[in-house]
């Protein structure tokens, strides 16, 4: 099969086309012919060699944790899906990649709504799983107010919509020129950075019940100040959290229960017109290096995605 891969860690230019063996699905897995693959911060970090997890990667490595496509092989122990079905999901987490190729193996997935564009489906998997897992950990009840720090990125924009669908009032942080975008997702916007607690209080909010840190930008003390307890804050990106008594969710890599049920929820909400996967930029797979370059820099309004023409 064809694949976009890298043979050494480095800048986006290390990505190149190659021929690779097509993966085979293991127990509980399915294989798809890829139509679209998301580009996430984790892919960028692994490729650059900056993240400690890079040390676990055998080279060459095919990046990409999110993919959508047409099912072409199914493990014997899997049911509820058939050859030819259109699905989206997350690639085998143990391999930390594999999506930017002709074929990829998914270890969790949901059926793609017919009307959902391939680009949205290709980018949806891990952000939806992550957002769902974090919302579950926060034990949210309808009517609560949730503050999401980093609400316009890949994970944040999905967390806003999934929380809103649970009957939660969401306050989301973003840079000022992303505030209108955040309103379209259903959140009340506030600018991120130092002084956050004061700006949230200035909204006239009587209480913030829960807080989710997606940005890892050092806001945990202010999130604690707003919610009043370490039990009501979860971070996905601040590795200083455990020292502060705050939960850092790392998902299956840390042996936690995953949020796979969120993929079906997202598909149902999409069909009802209550969910979308915001796409910041789309590139043909031939431009994978440009996609990684874009993912490394600049403001975000949702996901970056690679598409593959038939
Ligand atoms: N633990 C896990 O299981 C898990 C899973 C997936 C991702 N993650 C991590 O979660 C983080 C976010 O991932 P993502 O895919 O959503 O990234 P992303 O798409 O790059 O979005 C990052 C967001 O952070 C916002 N931001 C930038 N500076 C900020 C600041 N100082 N304060 C608050 N927000 C700020 C950006 O807002 P503007 O564009 O408005 O500036 C943007 O919306 C990454 O660190 C990723 O590695 C963790």
Query: Given this model, what pLDDT does residue 2 score?
Result: 97
Rg for the chain, CA atoms, rounded: 19
Residues 6+ apart with CB under 8 A from 131: 155, 156, 158, 159, 162, 259, 262
Ligand 1 pocket, residue 236 CB under 6 Å: yes
Residues 6+ apart with CB under 8 A from 60: 5, 6, 7, 18, 20
* Closest approach atom of ligand 1 to CA 178: 40
C-alpha 39 to ligand 1 mean position (Å): 13
C-alpha 29 to ligand 1 mean position (Å): 29
Query: Given this model, what pLDDT does residue 299 score?
Result: 66
Ligand 1 pocket, residue 60 CB under 6 Å: no
C-alpha 216 to ligand 1 mean position (Å): 7
Ligand 1 pocket, residue 281 CB under 6 Å: no
Ligand 1 pocket, residue 18 CB under 6 Å: no
CATH number for the region 131-254 comes to 3.40.50.720
Give the CATH number of domain 2-129+257-307; options: 3.40.50.300, 3.10.20.30, 3.90.180.10, 3.40.190.10: 3.90.180.10
Ligand 1 pocket, residue 33 CB under 6 Å: no
C-alpha 148 to ligand 1 mean position (Å): 11
Query: Given this model, what pLDDT does residue 249 score?
Result: 97
User: Do 3 and 37 contact (CB within 8 A), yes or no?
Assistant: no
User: Do 20 and 3 contact (CB within 8 A), yes or no?
Assistant: yes
CA 210 → CA 44, 145, 171, distances in Å? 30, 7, 10
Ligand 1 pocket, residue 144 CB under 6 Å: no
Ligand 1 pocket, residue 201 CB under 6 Å: no
CB burial of residue 21 (10 Å; 0-12, 13-18, 19+): exposed
- The residue behind tokens 């064809």 is 2
Pick the closest to residue 34 from 63, 71, 75, 80 (CA basis).
Answer: 71
Instruction: Give the H or E element holding residue 190.
Output: strand 188-191
Q: Is the link from the previous residue into 144 a cis peptide, with omega within 30 of 0? A: no
**188-191 and 169-174 beta bridge pairing:** parallel
Residue nearest to atom 38 of ligand 1 (CA): 299
Out of 39, 41, 160, 176, give the residue to mutate to test ligand 1, the one with the largest number of ligand atoms within 8 Å of its CB.
41
How far apart, in whole angstroms, are the C-alpha atoms of residue 95 and residue 278? Answer: 26
Query: Given this model, what pLDDT does residue 91 score?
Result: 96
In the numeric block, which tokens belong to residue 209? 């019940």
Residue nearest to atom 26 of ligand 1 (CA): 150
Query: Given this model, what pLDDT does residue 255 score?
Result: 84
C-alpha 153 to ligand 1 mean position (Å): 5
Residues 6+ apart with CB under 8 A from 97: 43, 46, 57, 61, 62, 63, 64, 65, 91
Residues of the chain with pLDDT under 70: 298-299
User: Do 111 and 271 contact (CB within 8 A), yes or no?
Assistant: no
Ligand 1 pocket, residue 93 CB under 6 Å: no
Pick the closest to residue 128 from 236, 263, 261, 254 (CA basis).
Answer: 263
* Closest approach atom of ligand 1 to CA 42: 47
Ligand 1 pocket, residue 251 CB under 6 Å: yes
Tell me the H-state helices in the chain.
41-48, 118-137, 154-165, 179-185, 196-202, 220-227, 261-271, 288-296
Query: Given this model, what pLDDT does residue 298 score?
Result: 66
C-alpha 155 to ligand 1 mean position (Å): 7
Ligand 1 pocket, residue 40 CB under 6 Å: yes
- The residue behind tokens 């994978």 is 288
Q: Where are the domains of the chain?
A: 2-129+257-307, 131-254
């Amino acid at each position: 099969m064809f694949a976009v891969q890298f043979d050494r860690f480095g800048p986006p230019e290390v990505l190149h086309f190659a021929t690779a063996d097509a993966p085979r699905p293991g127990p509980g897995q399915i294989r798809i012919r890829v139509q679209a693959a998301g580009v996430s911060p984790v892919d960028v970090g692994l490729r650059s060699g900056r993240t400690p997890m890079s040390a676990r990667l055998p080279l060459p490595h095919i990046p990409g944790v999110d993919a959508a496509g047409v099912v072409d092989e199914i493990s014997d122990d899997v049911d509820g899906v058939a050859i030819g079905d259109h699905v989206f999901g997350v690639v085998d987490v143990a391999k930390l990649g594999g999506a930017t190729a002709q074929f990829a193996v998914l270890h969790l997935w949901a059926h793609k709504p017919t009307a959902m564009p391939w680009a949205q489906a290709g980018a949806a998997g891990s952000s939806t799983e992550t957002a769902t897992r974090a919302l579950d950990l926060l034990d949210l009840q309808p009517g609560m107010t949730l503050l999401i720090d980093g609400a316009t990125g890949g994970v944040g924009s999905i967390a806003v919509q999934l929380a809103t669908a649970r009957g939660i009032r969401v306050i989301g942080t973003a840079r000022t020129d992303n505030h209108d975008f955040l309103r379209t997702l259903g959140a009340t916007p506030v600018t991120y950075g130092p002084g956050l607690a004061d700006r949230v209080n200035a909204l006239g909010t009587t209480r913030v019940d829960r807080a989710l840190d997606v940005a890892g930008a050092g806001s945990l003390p202010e999130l604690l100040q707003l919610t009043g307890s370490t039990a009501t804050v979860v971070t996905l990106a601040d590795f200083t959290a455990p020292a502060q008594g705050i939960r850092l969710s790392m998902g299956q890599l840390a042996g936690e229960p995953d949020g796979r049920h969120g993929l079906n929820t997202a598909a149902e909400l999409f069909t009802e017109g209550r969910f979308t996967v915001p796409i910041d930029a789309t590139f043909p797979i031939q431009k994978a290096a440009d996609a990684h370059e874009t993912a490394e820099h600049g403001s975000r309004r949702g996901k970056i995605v690679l598409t593959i023409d038939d």
